[in-house]
Amino acid sequence: MNKVLVVGGGAIGLLSARLLAEQGYDVSLLEKGDVGRESSWAGGGIVSPLYPWRYSAAVTALAHWSQDYYPHLAERLFEETAIDPEVHVTGLYWLDLDDEPLALAWAREQGRPLQSVDIAAVHDAVPPLGSGFSSAIHMSGVANIRNPRLVRSLRAAVLGMPNVTLLEHRPVTGFIRESGRIRGVLTEQGEIRADRVVLAAGAWSAELLATLGVQLPVEPVKGQMILFKCADDFLPSMVLAKGRYAIPRRDGHILVGSTLEYEGFDKTPTDEALASLKASAIEMLPALADAEVVGHWAGLRPGSPEGIPFIGPLPGHDGLWLNCGHFRNGLVLAPASCQLLADLMAGREPIIDPTPYMPAGRI
């Protein structure tokens, strides 16, 4: 049981492959296009759910473990690859929340450093903030990770492992099923066999499972982003208001996102979204009215019920494991999700209770 195929080369697939290879498996990672160029590349990289108090305990457990682990992961990847994922600790301000009391109660219960802040103090801390806000809460220690660099670093790391084979531009079209067991995958270039298969194909996971007659409740949810370039010190903290966020990178790039669109697999950026995102950006940070939009793109999140991913073996299909359906929090939850998968596959004591994520009973 030493050969594993990982289907999907985003952050979840890359990190799964890395951890499984560290356990001694012979791993082949298959990606339909270029590694890391789908949802993992397209997102913002905030190392927190946007509204963590609105999620179930299952998402919270994965998020907390990952948040604590990310600085260590980024440091190791930088040492191994010389590509810095840029974990940038800025803190995060939420403005004019309708459910601020719920957020503060959640923080007290979870022991998280979230507190109410006078809006005048926010303007002192974030000088470019617009004047149209009346209340705020702040969580110190929240970081963002430069996700395109994270996936580049992960790609370089797995390429440096002698027991990992990376197969890009290798679309998987189905599975090899023999005597009730999954024995590998079908690709346009032929069969690839293995002892186990891990499905980490994000928004495309349901389409692949449908070839087995399995209905996985994961669907593509389009998100559009825009990117500005400002002075390095323009925005000292992340800001979130009315469902939109502004994320500063270390070099002065400011990401603003994102839309939430149920448009199937269409990834076309639209003028309507561009206008809406620019309006949100200028409302939060009026000086952006004079800044150039240097990027505008769309990605497809793997939408799932309550945003709870599917992690574990698929009943009735021995040899097939899932690590998919992370919705808006794939980057946030990746370290914990992949460690949990690796623990389960190795028969070790898992880092957290795996029950809420198990495919059994949910599909």
Q: How many CA atoms lie within 13 A of 133 on its CB side?
A: 30
Token reading at 278:
């620019």
Query: For residues 176 and 198, what is the distance between their CA atoms, to the nearest angstrom?
Result: 13
pLDDT given at position 330: 96
Please state which CATH class domain 3-55+149-217+305-357 belongs to. Answer: alpha beta
pLDDT given at position 16: 98
Strand order of the β-sheet with 293-303 is 114-117, 136-139, 92-95, 238-241, 244-248, 253-257, 219-229, 293-303
| Cα maximum dimension of the chain | 67
pLDDT in tens, 250-296: 999 999 999 999 999 999 999 999 999 999 999 999 999 999 999 99
> C-alpha angle 169/171/177, rounded to 5°?
145
pLDDT in tens, 125-151: 999 999 999 999 999 999 999 999 999
| pTM score | 0.96
Query: For residues 289 and 279, what is the distance between their CA atoms, to the nearest angstrom?
Result: 9
Q: β-strands 320-324, 196-199: how paired? A: parallel
**Strands (DSSP E) found in 36-195:** 87-89, 92-95, 114-117, 136-139, 143-145, 164-167, 172-178, 181-187, 190-193
- 106, 53 Cβ separation under 8 angstroms: yes
* Phi, psi dihedral angles at 279 (to 5 degrees): -65, -45
Amino acid at the residue 249:
R
Query: For residues 164 and 197, what is the distance between their CA atoms, to the nearest angstrom?
Result: 14
In a 3-state reduction of DSSP, which class is residue 257?
Answer: strand
Query: For residues 9 and 131, what is the distance between their CA atoms, to the nearest angstrom?
Result: 43
Query: For residues 277 and 258, what is the distance between their CA atoms, to the nearest angstrom?
Result: 7
- Among positive and negative, which fits the CA dihedral 97, 272, 10, 195? positive
Q: Which residues pair with 198 in a beta bridge?
A: 6, 321
Q: Is the pLDDT of residue 48 over 90?
A: yes
| Boundaries of every domain in the chain | 3-55+149-217+305-357, 92-140+219-303
Please check whether the domain covering 92-140+219-303 is classified as CATH 3.30.9.10: yes
Work out the pLDDT band at 1, boundaries 50, 70, 90: low
Number of helical (H) and strand (E) elements in the chain, helices listed first: 9, 19
Q: Is the pLDDT of residue 186 over 90?
A: yes
Q: Is the pLDDT of residue 124 over 70?
A: yes
pLDDT given at position 47: 96
pLDDT in tens, 68-105: 999 999 999 999 999 999 999 999 999 999 999 999 99
Token reading at 315:
């009943």
Mean pLDDT (the chain) is 97
Q: β-strands 244-248, 238-241: how paired? A: antiparallel
Q: What is the mean pLDDT of residues 216-240?
A: 97
pLDDT in tens, 50-67: 999 999 999 999 999 999
Report which of 233, 300, 241 is spatially closest to residue 268, judged by C-alpha positions. 300
Work out the pLDDT band at 230, boundaries 50, 70, 90: very high
- 354, 311 Cβ separation under 8 angstroms: yes
> C-alpha angle 330/331/335, rounded to 5°?
95
Amino acid at the residue 181:
R
pLDDT in tens, 292-323: 999 999 999 999 999 999 999 999 999 999 99
C-beta neighbour count of 181 within 10 angstroms: 13
